[in-house]
Amino acid sequence: MSGGAFMAVLRRDLLLAMRRKSEVLTAVFFFVVVAALFPLGIGPELNTLRLVAPGVLWVGALLSSMLALQRLFEADYRDGTLEQMALSPTPMPLLISAKLLAHWLVSGVPLVLLAPVLGLQFDLSADALMTLTLGLLLGTPVLSLVGGIGAALTLGVRGGGVLLSLLVLPLFIPVLVFGAGAVEAQASGLGAEAHLSILMAMLLPAAFFSPLACAAALRIALE
Amino acid sequence: MKSINWFHYAAPQNFYGLAGRMWPGFAVLATAFMLAGLWLGFAVAPSDFQQGEGYRIIFVHVPVSWMSMVVYLAMAFWSVLGLTFNTRLSGMMTRALAPTGALFAFLSLWTGALWGKPMWGTWWVWDARLTSELILFFLYLGYIALTSAIDDTRRSDRAGALIAIVGAINVPIIYFSVKWWNTLHQGASVSLTKGSSMAEVMLWGMLLMALAFWFYTVALVLYRVRTLILQRESHATWVHQLDEVKP
């Protein structure tokens, strides 16, 4: 019963995203453009680029996921879908987690797939590319989950977009530290397992608690 | 034994009077402890054999850093109370705490930079504790920005309470980060298990200053919450009957 509702919301959100491709693609192209700007600003020296690559790609992923976050609940808030979700017999956190999963599939997965290609531009080794992709695979869901709380809190608020960045970016810092740190640890021969394990340790509680917090925040916004 | 009815003071009307009676006392205590702490710190405590006179900023830096974390925990505490018991006063307390906490976080960063320059030769390092303090400062700013962007007081209190609780996860990370990443920042000087590695006079000076900042916070928050109560209850009859409000 509730599993069906979960799948229905997931399918609906994915379908909506497919119908409005430009919104998804904007965030992805933003990521590509930001990654291309850094070599132009820093200089084409490959040794330097290799050093800054993990940080640059992670910050780019962070910022581009911020762009996508603003639209996470907005359309549903305006047309009343969220109110129906709040009233439905299916637990709201479950429906919200379907929305968050759809959001990650649409905005997070493209970043994970693109990162190794962009990493090539920064002359990262195959090993480092592998770690970067794995780190993003574990880290980007955390961005969607934690960012969702911020998106729910700033729903329909004056200056929501800027406010959302101010609220959410500080909370992203641990993910950034360990995500970019994983690539550096791999490059320096320490191995990235510890960093990736910590990313996983952030993902699991976030996956459990974030839908609950999002639902609470949405109920506050819907009052 | 007659138990105290805590919910009596959950009503802004009753708390207004209580806060009015309490804050001057705390202000006096804060001044007394601060004078004593400064006297101990600057006149009595000997100069450090490694750091010379420069270390004396510890009497401001450490208490201020402690308070910046304590105030955030206090905000989280009032937020949990507010969300569970649905009391209006809790939201006002959280809001009254936020500016003071932001000030402490800023002062902690500032005094840290002033201390770091002569000791480490640099204003800023990307060390775990410094970075966490910076994040804490951002969290305060985020809380203040969110609550002031929402006009409806009930929604802004509840939204603020939620973000305060989410951010409170950060406070233990700050504290334990010293152990997680072992970097430039000197280890904790005060520990409950091993006793302190500091001279006793210095420790006393620091504790006096910490208590002084504590009382300062309480006095200021009580004063600020009175203003908030007046602002929000301005439609109520009891407010118009107050001596200080009557024209």
pLDDT single digits (tens) A33-43: 998 898 888 88
| Inter-chain residue contact A220 with B166, CB threshold 8 Å | no
User: Residues B144-162: what's their mean pLDDT?
Assistant: 89
Per-residue pLDDT band for B175 (boundaries 50, 70, 90) equals: low
% residues pLDDT > 70 (chain B):
83
Look at residue B7 in the predicted model and tell me its pLDDT.
Answer: 75
> In chain B, where does DSSP find H-type helix?
12-39, 58-85, 88-120, 128-149, 153-168, 170-180, 200-232, 237-240
Residue to test with chain A: of B72, B143, B155, B156, most A Cβ within 10 A: B155
Look at residue B182 in the predicted model and tell me its pLDDT.
Answer: 44
Extents of the domains making up chain A: 2-222
Judged on CB neighbours under 10 Å (0-12, 13-18, 19+), B49 is exposed
pLDDT digits (tens, 9 = 90+) for A121-134: 888 888 889 999 99
ipTM confidence: 0.81
Residue to test with chain B: of A163, A167, A177, A178, most B Cβ within 10 A: A167
pLDDT of B86 strictly over 70: yes
Cβ atoms of B105 and B140 within 8 Å: the answer is yes
Least confident of A57-61, A112-116, B235-239: B235-239
Per-residue pLDDT band for A180 (boundaries 50, 70, 90) equals: confident
Contacts of B142 in chain A (CB under 8 A): 163, 166-167, 170
| Inter-chain residue contact A216 with B155, CB threshold 8 Å | no
Look at residue B183 in the predicted model and tell me its pLDDT.
Answer: 47
More confident residue, B192 or A194: A194
**Host H or E run for residue A174:** helix A160-187
Residues 6+ apart with CB under 8 A from B239: B230, B233, B245
Look at residue B173 in the predicted model and tell me its pLDDT.
Answer: 58
% residues pLDDT > 90 (chain B):
30
| Inter-chain residue contact A159 with B149, CB threshold 8 Å | yes
Look at residue A181 in the predicted model and tell me its pLDDT.
Answer: 82
Per-residue pLDDT band for B177 (boundaries 50, 70, 90) equals: very low
- Return residues 34-93 of B near A (CB < 8 Å): none
User: Residues B214-226: what's their mean pLDDT?
Assistant: 93
